[in-house]
Structure 1
Amino acid sequence: MSMPFTKATIGEFFEEQARKDPNRDFIVYPDRNLRFSYSEFNDRVDDLANGLISIGITKGDHVGIWARNVPDWLTFLFATARIGAVLVTVNTAYKSHELAYVMKQSDMKAIAIVDRFRDVDYVETIYELVPELKTCKRGNLNSKGYPKLESVIFIGQEKHRGMYNTAEMLLLGKHSESEELDSLKGTLDCKDVINMQYTSGTTGFPKGVMLTHENILNNGYYIGERQKFTEDDRLCLPVPLFHCFGIVLGVLATLTHGGTLVMIELFDPLLVLAAVQKEKCTALYGVPTMFIAEFSHPMFKMFDMSSLRTGIMAGSPCPIEAMKKVIDEMNCKDITIAYGLTEASPVFTQTSTNDPIERRVSTVGTSLEHIDVKIVDSETGEIVGPNEQGEICCRGYNVMKGYYKMPEMTNRAIDKDGWLHSGDLATVDEDGYYRITGRIKDMIIRGGENIYPREIEEFLYTIEGIKDAQVIGIPDEKYGEIVGAFVVLKEGSKLTPEDIRDFSITKIARYKVPKHIFIVDEYPLTASGKVQKFKLREMAVELMEEN
């Protein structure tokens, strides 16, 4: 039987777990040799919550976090939820232009940052956007560009002019009265918004998705149920926390089952393999490109994967051959596939550990408990029959409150009957298993023929010597669009674009055969590991112009 809905807030739920099992590991950072039990972490969260209150943060305030998966990322997640503040998660790959937009659009009152990510110096970026930080008294920021912003917190020990750091915040909290925290807790409701995530903005500016305690805590629980999580599970989490994959599928699925999080600060296949072996992880998450990097690593066979049992592959369609390798060579016999979108908290269909392998490699499972799912004709809105393609929609406790300050966009996404429209194309079979066949806007229309990139990618993946393939539409005067493919070859493969085309012509309809094939070493990825197809389109156009 599935658990009835919890009406608890995230703070209440965590406190209950800490009471029940105080000494169990909650968070482990194997490369830092750092571990927090449920009880130790609960105390740290209380200290930070009190620290935030003492600098003027209260229920309903928006607090940004722009950071890698550092240990205190999770302290901020739980501390803001505990006082009813809204944590605004900022993509680590953002640069100053995108950060400026999110800080302003979200009405941030405070932002917590680390030192840097890859080529971006976060401290310098903040000073560039908010020069007043260097002269204003801490906590009394008066910024022309960001009138709502009052405080900047540096996650770490270093001191930066105009900023608090986490050590000070925790100390402030330890020495402050907790009456205000207790009274705030009493005012919280599970339907309060406590998390805001910005969708990547493939359609114009990013939109702030407002999610509640009820949305993400319950979704995390049912995601864990599909993997048969218990308190003995240890999840290796190498995906970024700023995304639902990290927070909901990872942190909250683990919390709701009393398990342990084994954190990876920044994805590296070797660190993941070492963490699984050292901490005897039972579950592993990632997007397909992460799993491929792990089992393709030259040192892969040196690591013991025998503790692994389950996990989730999500974020983009998984090549069937890659899935088989994860099951056979990485010992993830019970790996699951989850599907959803940020606006749906995010998961609304998932395979389960006892689904046959065929289902797990070819579908995204069945609808999660307490969520209605339907497939409709995108023109008429009518429900389509089994195995007929249409837009996949969902309705239930998991649907977002809306986009922040964007009522029109909200009404476009959620119809008057409460159905969230995904923009994805799918089919469902007679047994209720869903298959995602493409995005409405991903579809390539070549001279009137509808072509679904996923189908061609799956085909290309079967060609000996191809490690990965991404298919895109390239603008064309004659046909409107033609098919292009970017291919990563296996080590030692001598395949040429001509070889791939010649083989494809013998196997698939000619109009589906990629007209242009580009062999590359890697793809442009988002910070969460998804392939950026729009960048591939731009690259294709440039490469064709050069030739």
Structure 2
Amino acid sequence: MQDHNLYTALRAAFPADLDDVAVETDTGLRYSWRDLDRGSAMLANLLASLELPEGTRIAVQADKCVESLMLYLAVLRAGHVYLPLNTAYQAAELEYFIGNAEPGVVVCTGKNFPWVSKLAFKQGVRYVFSLNDDRTGTLLERASHFGDQHTPVERGEDDLAAILYTSGTTGRSKGAMLTHGNMLSNARTLKDYWDWRPGDVLIHALPIFHVHGLFVAIHGALLNGSRMLWMGKFDAKQVIEWLPRATVFMGVPTLYVRLLAEPGLTREQCAHMRLFISGSAPLLIDTFNEFRRRTGHTILERYGMSETIMLTSNPCRPEDGERIGGTVGRPLPGVGVRVVDGKTGRELPAGEIGDIQVRGPNVFKGYWRMPEKTAEEFTADGWFKTGDVGHFDERGYLTIVGRSKDLIISGGYNVYPAEVEGYLNETEGVAESAVVGVPHPDFGEAVIAIVVPKPGAALDEAALIAGLKGRIANYKVPKRVFVVPELPRNAMGKVQKNLLRQERQGLFVGG
């Protein structure tokens, strides 16, 4: 068969001089292209030595570091399936992911090793390693005993490369299965569409446990043989200091808000930059306009999902059109996007709002071990139902107006109300709850909860918030909790979340 291993394609794009710098970190470390090749080879050889079944899931909940990047590349090389987990996930969440994905290997930080390993071994995981952001941990210790040459395992384009967990509005998280073909086709499309050029340098300031930072940013830089300026955690002052040495920056809207808060963000400082890209959450038009005024650069906003990687993008090259704030641009080459009437399935003309459906080589294989759910999410003619609602304009630009699944996007992270409500409803004294998102100047949307106490129970906001903090990731914890005697319902008994949102629209923003 023809080899479609994503790593092989990325490796073929490395520059001729392997001793050139590939990654430079905010701690002053420099890694060459040869380091990436050798380091990922040693880790791939370690994985091979474990004699894992083909396509084993390798679950990783580790801090952002270049060694984590090498581990991702090693999993691709070894022909296994990479399963990145948000570093904010707590024990209950991790227990579910490990139970559902049944990984053969779990990698976690040294400080979490005692409880993660206990949880993993209990669920039948054979190997648990630690990996820290200071180049220590049992994973690297073990890998150091292996050779630095490794021939990548051949993979077909339909073979699984990664699973990303993405919650639904009901039930627990679903594992979106992405293939080598899905990811390589999207990376190649973006390399061309975003006009990656020789000499481009990427500031990598995003986490590497979701599509934006792990796939869009890293694949883009590697496939172009571009240097990355790498920061463990976003630091606005550091980004601004690096701007004269870079050409491309990718961020979520929250990062752009943070940059605009710094007086050092000026036209002069951005003069060497070629492209600023925003995604993962809606970019407020105020942020879009203010950034252009301050820097002379127009942010390119695009749209993607865990299940599909990138779908649409505002134009990069001037000859392809202008970048229009409030839109996510046009469908990428080779990607189909349509807006349909949710009831009839009829495709809608420009200006009419409906359900967004997509298809293309980038669209995922389905949900892990959920054939019924997978079938449900695709139309009879093979289009994926995104759950987003929007409309095209007469120029073919897509605007997303909301999410049919009540998704909240806070600081670029997805929060699914049903999950948070589940934890709240288990709390002593809580009869029921409703979780909604309201506008927030920094996070785009803030999570808030409205709870109804059981008869005779006295609920305390601070105690409810504190109770959630140890159980779920911090970005999912409501910023405010309101205790009310009852929730508004329609004639069918369904909670009217739109009313709850409207009532508290101005909680964090004026007006």
Give CA deviations for 1:330-362 in whole Å, capped at 9, x if unaligned. 45x253111021111x11100112359974313
Q: CA deviation at 1:268?
A: 2.5
SS in 1 for 2:146: helix
1:488, 1:322 → 2: CA distance?
Answer: 10
* Change in CA separation of 1:338 and 1:542 when aligned onto 2, cut-off 3 Å: farther
3-state SS, counterpart of residue 173 of structure 1: coil
Separation (CA, whole Å) in 2 of partners of 1:313 and 1:335: 7
Matches within 5 A, 1:119-268: 121-130=111-120, 143=121, 145-147=122-124, 149-156=125-132, 165-174=138-147, 181-182=150-151, 185=153, 187-268=154-235
Q: 1:411 to 1:343 in 2, by over 3 A?
A: same
Residue type at the aligned position of 1:402: G
Q: State the alpha-carbon separation in 2 of the partners of residues 90 and 251 from structure 1.
A: 17
1:245-394 matched pairs, under 5 angstroms: 245-277=212-244, 280-297=245-262, 300=265, 304-331=269-296, 333=297, 335-344=299-308, 346-354=309-317, 359-394=323-358
In the alignment, residue 113 of structure 1 is paired with which amino acid? C
Task: Show structure 1 runs of 5+ residues with no match.
Answer: 1-5, 116-120, 131-142, 444-452, 455-471, 473-480, 490-523
- Residue type of the partner of 1:89? P
Corresponding position of 2:395: 431
- Among all aligned residue pairs of Structure 1 and Structure 2, give the percentage whose two residues are the same amino acid: 26
Which moved further from structure 2: 354-363 or 58-67?
Answer: 354-363
Cα distance, 1:7–1:83 mapped onto 2, change above 3 Å: closer
- 1:18 alignment partner, one of 10, 14, 19: 14
1:405-445 deviations in Å (ceiling 9; x for gaps): 111111121223221101111111222111111111349xx
Aligned partner of residue 478 in structure 2, secondary structure = helix
How many residue pairs match? The answer is 438
2:216, 2:484 → 1: CA distance? 38
| Matched ranges for 1:442-457 at <5 A | 442=406
| One-letter identity of the residue aligned with 2:141 | E
Contact 2:390–2:400 (CA<8 Å) still a contact in 1?
A: yes
Q: For the Cα contact (< 8 Å) 1:341–1:347, is it kept in 2?
A: yes
Distance 2:141 2:348 in 1: 58
Matched residue of 1:65: which SS?
A: strand
Q: Classify 1:379/1:531 alpha carbon distance in 2 versus 1 (closer, same or farther; 3 Å).
A: farther
1:474-513 to 2 correspondences below 5 Å? 485=438, 487-488=440-441
* Aligned-partner Cα distance in 1 for 2:306–2:134: 34
- Contact residue 85 and residue 209 of structure 2 kept, 8 A: yes
Q: 1:544 to 1:293 in 2, by over 3 A?
A: farther
Distance of 1:87 and 1:530 partners within structure 2: 24
The reply on whether 1:406 has 2:382 as its aligned counterpart is no
Residues 320 and 361 in structure 1, CA contact (< 8 A), matched pair in contact too: yes
How many Å separate the matches in 1 of 2:379 and 2:105?
34
What is the letter of the counterpart of residue 225 of structure 2?
G
Contact in 2 for aligned 1:69/1:263 (Cα 8 Å): no
Q: 1:316 to 1:531 in 2, by over 3 A?
A: farther
Q: What is the Cα deviation at residue 326 of structure 1?
A: 2.5
Q: Secondary structure at the match of 1:312?
A: strand
Provide the TM-score with structure 1 as the length reference: 0.72
SS state at 1:172 partner: coil
- Whether the 8 Å CA contact 1:52–1:173 is kept in 2: the answer is no
Change (3 A) 1:375 1:337: same
Q: Is the 8 A contact 2:315 2:323 kept in 1?
A: no
Moved more, 72-81 or 48-57: 48-57
Contact 2:270-2:295 at 8 Å conserved across structures: yes
Quote the Cα distance in structure 2 between the aligned partners of 1:58 and 1:49: 14
CA distance in 1, matches of 2:133, 2:341: 55
Residues 312-337 of structure 1: CA deviation (Å, up to 9, x unaligned): 11111111121123233245x25311
Residues 302, 328 of structure 2: 8 Å contact kept: yes
Q: What is the CA-CA distance between 1:399 and the residue it aligns to?
A: 0.9
CA distance in 2, matches of 1:349, 1:106: 30
TM-score, reference length from structure 2 = 0.77
Structure 2, unpaired ranges of 5+: 410-416, 418-433, 443-467, 488-511
2:462 match = none
**Per-residue deviation, 1:62:** 0.7
Q: Distance in 1 between matches of 2:65 and 2:135?
A: 17
Q: Distance in 2 between matches of 1:322 and 1:188?
A: 43
Query: Which residue of the partner structure matches residue 397 of structure 1?
Result: 361
> What is the aligned-residue RMSD (CA, Å)?
3.6
> What is the CA–CA distance in structure 1 between the aligned matches of 2:191 and 2:171, rounded to whole Å?
34
